[in-house]
Amino acid sequence: MLGKARKLVERALIGRSAPALAHWGISLPRRLVTSIQADGFREVVQYAARHQKFFARKLSGNGIDPSRVRRPEDLGEIFTTAEDLLTLPSEEFLCREPQAVFETTGTTGRPKRTYFSYDELDFAARYEAAALYEIGVRPGDRVVCTFDAAYWISSWLTFLACKQLGVFCSAVGKPHPKEVYSRLREYGYNIIIADPTWLVTLSEIAQVEGAPSVKLMIAAGDRMTDAYRRYVQEVWNAPVVLGYGSTEMGGGLGMECLRRDGYHIDEFNFWVEILNPDAEGYGELVVTTLARRTMPLIRYRARDLTRFLEGSCPCGATIQRIAKIRGRRDEMVVMGAGNMYPEIFEKVLEGVEGISDRWQVAVRQEGRHDILEFRVELSNGISPATVEQAVRENLQARFPDVWANHVCGMFRLALRCLPAGKLETGRKQRRLVDERSDS
Ligand SMILES: [Zn+2]
């Protein structure tokens, strides 16, 4: 049974172009948005209760009657975790015969698999198209997308989204930035969609060789620091808009608008919760997919830490926003300095002269003391003492609470200089590591 609000959406969506959807998506009254969500949630819960072995077992194990579930909280301690997806066979989650599969690689190297139907991919692409339209992508533009294709979903979805908008698109996997740079003028690309680090490398080439005119850049798939964003925007003299999502979420969960202040969430297709928020509202992002039927995920724990942004965005959109991801839950370190996230150290090291962008912060233990050790590579013959002084000054000025804990003797600071290349640790470098022993 489709709920009333949801029925209205389904009707409104039939034949709806992405531009119309974009307009409609930002202008709906808040009350209607929440009612669409509530309908979607009830429906997916009842559907998964009938068709998904994993969820059905969780329901009966917790003695919960799915017909009484109205909101995520009604499910108590029922969640779907990355560990569930990694360890249980796909049949536990599949509700019908799939037509496509995508993977994400976890830190362990084992892939998490998510299955879809073609319809679901087209449906997701339509919402992505609406988001692209909203930030200014138009027919006549030329998009080059260099998200890794392989088993990842984002390259395919971007291609399908551009197709729905009638926009020229080369989704070419992830070649070396040089390959794309040499074709920028030939194909007249004016919109670049890529991973943050790839975009930075491309920008370094453009800074030396010249930057052809580009209207917009979109980055996702990794975290982009404010410093990187500013650098890329300066080189191209164009805005960098960030998107957030994952394969499990079926591509995009949200995208910034041109104001670039938080991700606008696709609340028509996802119910987002922030689990166990701290005093500032930061907690773990938990996502329920409302529209998918091949492999819906109920209360999927994304392990990313974020918070809802209060107040409405000046762009006028009525859908909620979440803050930039602060870090991964498994990257948070609780220590004498407080709750530490990689983002804190990005900010501390921003603007420090004479260090490369490869750095790591380790929490170590000496006796009963926590040591916050900054590991950096020095360049330009700068002295370690100068770098350490800059780090201390930045920490004191930018994170007074953390500094106050230092003054109280809750932790000590150390700087370790490493030879170049020592911190090169493959695809995803850990910025913050906890090396204290449990004993
Ligand atoms: Zn906005």
Domain shared by 246 and 339, yes or no:
no
Start-to-end CA distance of the chain, whole Å, equals 55
How does DSSP classify residue 255?
E
Distance from residue 249's CA to the centre of ligand 1 (Å)? 21
Domain shared by 119 and 99, yes or no:
yes
The number of domains in the chain is: 2
Distance CA 300, CA 55 (A): 11
Does the residue 350 lie in any domain?
yes
23: CATH: 3.40.50.12780
Domain shared by 183 and 257, yes or no:
yes
Does the residue 194 lie in any domain?
yes
pLDDT of residue 130: 92
Instruction: Give the confidence band of 10 by pLDDT, cuts at 50, 70, 90.
Output: low
pLDDT of residue 13: 62
Distance CA 163, CA 378 (A): 47
Domain shared by 98 and 113, yes or no:
yes
Q: What is the pLDDT of residues 385-432, one digit of tens each?
A: 999 999 999 999 999 888 988 888 888 999 998 887 777 655 567 888
Domain shared by 215 and 197, yes or no:
yes
pLDDT at 1 over 50: no
Does the residue 415 lie in any domain?
yes
Does the residue 356 lie in any domain?
yes
Domain shared by 167 and 187, yes or no:
yes
Distance from residue 264's CA to the centre of ligand 1 (Å)? 7
389: CATH: 3.30.300.30
pLDDT of residue 325: 87
How does DSSP classify residue 309?
P
Other C-beta atoms closer than 10 Å to the C-beta of 16 total 16
pLDDT at 439 over 50: no
Domain shared by 273 and 411, yes or no:
no
Does the residue 355 lie in any domain?
yes
Does the residue 439 lie in any domain?
no
Distance from residue 124's CA to the centre of ligand 1 (Å)? 20
| Amino acid identity for residue 358 in this structure | R
Distance from residue 23's CA to the centre of ligand 1 (Å)? 12
Distance from residue 261's CA to the centre of ligand 1 (Å)? 7
Residue 347: enclosing H or E segment and its boundaries?
helix 342-349
Instruction: Please tell me the number of Cα atoms within 13 Å of 23 on its side-chain side.
Output: 5
Distance from residue 256's CA to the centre of ligand 1 (Å)? 7
pLDDT of residue 438: 56
The per-residue pLDDT of the chain, averaged, comes to 89
Model pTM score: 0.81
Domain shared by 231 and 358, yes or no:
no
Does the residue 200 lie in any domain?
yes
Distance from residue 230's CA to the centre of ligand 1 (Å)? 19
Distance from residue 308's CA to the centre of ligand 1 (Å)? 13
Domain shared by 313 and 336, yes or no:
no
Domain shared by 218 and 72, yes or no:
yes
The residue range of the domain holding 183 is 1-328
pLDDT of residue 197: 79
Distance from residue 317's CA to the centre of ligand 1 (Å)? 6
Does the residue 308 lie in any domain?
yes
Other C-beta atoms closer than 10 Å to the C-beta of 298 total 27
pLDDT of residue 14: 60
Domain closes at, from 328, 362, 396 = 328
pLDDT at 320 over 60: yes
Would you say 114 and 248 are in contact if contact means Cβ atoms under 8 Å apart?
yes
Distance from residue 349's CA to the centre of ligand 1 (Å)? 29
Domain shared by 174 and 219, yes or no:
yes
Instruction: Give the confidence band of 223 by pLDDT, cuts at 50, 70, 90.
Output: low
By C-alpha distance, which of 135, 188, 200 is closest to 161?
135
Domain shared by 304 and 341, yes or no:
no
Distance CA 246, CA 284 (A): 15
Would you say 203 and 232 are in contact if contact means Cβ atoms under 8 Å apart?
yes
pLDDT at 2 over 60: no
Domain closes at, from 298, 328, 358 = 328
Q: What is the pLDDT of residues 347-364, one digit of tens each?
A: 899 999 889 888 999 999
Instruction: Give the confidence band of 330 by pLDDT, cuts at 50, 70, 90.
Output: confident
Residue 119: enclosing H or E segment and its boundaries?
helix 118-134
Domain closes at, from 328, 351, 377 = 328
